[in-house]
Amino acid sequence: MSITHTNSNAAGTASCPKQKAVSPEELLLNATRSRAFMTGSEAVAEAVRRAGVDMAIAYPITPQSESMHLTGDLYAQGYIKDYYRAENEFAVMAAVHGASLGGGRVFTATSGPGTLRAMEMFPVWAGSRQPIVCAFMCRGVALPPSIQPENIEMAFLLDTGMIMLHAENAQDFFDFILAGYAIAEQPEVHIPVGVFADGFFVTHTREVIMLPPDDIKLDEYNPDIAPIPPFDTEHAPIRMVRDPLLNKCNFVSYAASASWHQEVLAAAERARKHINKYMGGLIEVENPDADIMIVASGTAVSQSREAIRTMAERDGIRIGLVKVKSVRPFPAAEIAQATAHASAIIIPEFNAGGWLARDIMGTIDNNSRVIAEPRVFGGMSMPEEIIIEVVKKAKGIK
């Protein structure tokens, strides 16, 4: 079963460009890639171009807007079967849920306050086991108002049940979106994937990325292999939600509800082997034998790389790096192993809450080794100097 609707956009002229459908292995791992120079937002559109998306729904918000404008262009060019602008972010997330329940491969994106406005739908996506891929271009969320980069919104999504992948740069953003579909659509996984990038730093910065050819795309999604039945959303009466458990106040209905919740968490765990396959692991480690290890995700990784390079070249200090690519499922064992020998574990973050440090402190032995700084937010940048300062303090160097 699949969406067979043809694109009848306003121009009425778009026909789907010829693209050969290939396996995720071919698209992500084997295809010859060529250089391109583009922003993270453009990289998102290039991923969608190759993802075989049936339907995309948009509502604009900075810094997400450009990516969904470009996705709209893909609709006009015939790459996407259906596309529209919804009333607001909640409507977007509810509508992509419906399209996914009906068996379509869907895409959307949002940012900061848009994420929070749509919040109710994220655990609904996970609870109904839909393989929706959503890009989050992270930014400040509340008073004092800020459209600037920070990733506090990720803290609010940690326990929604979705898989959370954190891109360091435009290359990751492109790769993780495509890998997101490959992972999400595994029968034993089949839950949503959020692909996160720090707004502006990634979305609005041009960089070199390597792209597979645009005449290939992911194989069509087959909802018949899902762990739940797809819905017939074209013939009345249309069903909009999964069968509820018996809503009685008794132990059996509570136990069934609890077991359902457990199944969503299990689905994320089962994603681990597919993340290893399509993304080369939940983490990446550099200088694994260094006495001091920096553990970071997103653009904090790039800033840490600069600090590590400067300290090696200028000061002769060797520092290790753990790049966290998968935030959910959380790579607790991998981080514990990579940092087991370290005397200090430095965790730089672009948010006020320190969600990554909290997760790591809750899962490693001897967590007094964790130095949960530097931490910047409200749109501040993270110059390498403030990371170096923390490292030198940890080493007792003035």
Partner 1 sequence: MIQEKYRVLPGPEGFVPVTAALMGAVLPDAGGAFVEGGIVPETDALGLIAEKLANAKRPAICPGPLLMWQWNDAVAPKAAAVRELAGACGAKIYPMPDYRSKSPRINPEIEISVNHPNITILHNDIDVCLFAGVHSHYANFALRMIRGGTSCYTICLSDYAASDEAMISLRDIDAAKIAAITTKIKSSTGRS
Residues lying near partner 1 in the complex (CB under 8 A) are found at: 129, 186-188, 190, 225-229, 242-246, 252-253, 255-256, 258-260, 262-263, 265-267, 269-270, 273
**Residue number, 127 or 149, with CB nearest to partner 1:** 127
Determine contact, residues 395/317, Cβ cutoff 8 Å: yes
3 state SS of 165: strand
Alpha helix (H) residue ranges in the chain = 24, 40-49, 65-76, 89-101, 112-117, 121-127, 153-157, 170-184, 251-270, 272-279, 299-310, 332-339, 355-361, 384-395
Pairing of strands 292-296, 106-110: unpaired
Q: What minimum distance in Å lies between the beta carbon of 370 and partner 1?
A: 18
**Residue number, 188 or 220, with CB nearest to partner 1:** 188
Instruction: Report residue 28 as tokens.
Output: 């992500």
**Residue number, 59 or 125, with CB nearest to partner 1:** 125
Q: What minimum distance in Å lies between the beta carbon of 333 and partner 1?
A: 9
Q: What minimum distance in Å lies between the beta carbon of 273 and partner 1?
A: 7
Half-sphere exposure for 92 (CA within 13 Å, toward CB): 29
Distance (Å, rounded) from C-alpha 147 to C-alpha 107? 23
**Residue number, 207 or 263, with CB nearest to partner 1:** 263
**Residue number, 270 or 395, with CB nearest to partner 1:** 270
Half-sphere exposure for 262 (CA within 13 Å, toward CB): 6
Query: How does DSSP assign 8-72, residue by residue?
Result: --TTS---PPP-EEE-HIIIIIIS--EEEEE-HHHHHHHHHHTTT-SEEEE---TTTHHHHHHHH
**Residue number, 126 or 167, with CB nearest to partner 1:** 126
Q: What minimum distance in Å lies between the beta carbon of 247 and partner 1?
A: 8
Q: What minimum distance in Å lies between the beta carbon of 262 and partner 1?
A: 4
Distance (Å, rounded) from C-alpha 79 to C-alpha 57? 14
Q: What minimum distance in Å lies between the beta carbon of 105 and partner 1?
A: 18
